[in-house]
Amino acid sequence: MGKIAFVFSGQGAQYSGMGKALYDSSPAAKAVFDMADSIREGTSRQCFEGTMEELTQTVNTQPCVFTADLAAARALREAGIVPDCVAGFSLGEIAALAFAGVLSDEEAFKLVCKRGELMDEAAKKNPGAMVAVLKIAPEVVEEVCSGFENTYPVNYNSPAQTVVATTTENAEAFCEAIKEAGGRAKVLPVSGAFHSPFMASAAEGLAEYMEDIFFSDPQITLYSNYTAQPYEGDYKALVRAQVENPVRWQTIVESMRASGVDTVIEVGVGKTLQNLCKRTFDDIEAFKAETPEDIEKLKN
């Protein structure tokens, strides 16, 4: 049997009610939500009852998705399912840091709250848009981007899906250029141009915030969004870098597969990452762990 990877969801799949069933059924999951509420009052309420308008504000999305992700991972481990490695998409990497023991749950939660605040501020200072590009290779997307100012590939998701950050003024013309190149393009409903130079001030603020935080060595192999390789060297620099640089998810999946991973379990919200993993390698077994029923199936 090959290795198991837990992958932690990112921003975009949030919904009202996320995590409630695990909170009600798993002591380990409940402990994560209680921890979040002790630091940021109302986090559980937002997860369980928040409106979509509330949940899509970056300052709320990041702590809420972090909590749902980590709670699901802890519920899985409580059920006896233990991974060989972990990775998280964007804010999901912060939950992976906690699960891997690099930070305590409390420090990781405070970090993701600060990250959300800083990225929200940066988005307001430097308004931008994000465009999902489908059906063409990343190299073609890069070529189209080169024809526009302040336009960057920022999420290398799979062989045929790349997300681009650009200015709001460029978005429509960029979508047309992608269509002319044979692809499909869709402007995403997000509040900023994340993982790009638009986020430089957020990255700088996060680096300052982390100065006095102690980062331990991972207790389990943890993949970096920035390098797409296991964490090594300056951990704080990796956390900072991923805020203003591309998420190399496809390469992370390729790296995990090369290490022997053949089973991926998406912990937390939605099934975006398991689908991306399947699009990269059709022989990977991919599952989600979002509800008690999901976890029961995985146990069997």
Any idea which residues carry the catalytic annotation? Answer: 90, 195
Contact 262, 280 (CB under 8 A): no
Non-local CB neighbours of 176 within 8 Å, separated by 6+ positions: none
Q: How far apart are CA 278 and CA 253, in angstroms?
A: 10
Q: What's CA 41's distance to the chain center, in Å?
A: 23
List, edge to edge, every strand of the sheet that includes 221-222.
221-222, 85-88, 3-8, 261-267, 285-289
Q: How far apart are CA 92 and CA 237, in angstroms?
A: 17
Q: Is 283 buried (19+), middle (13-18) or exposed (0-12) by CB count in 10 A?
A: exposed
Which residues are bridge partners to 221 per DSSP? 85
Q: How far apart are CA 257 and CA 253, in angstroms?
A: 6
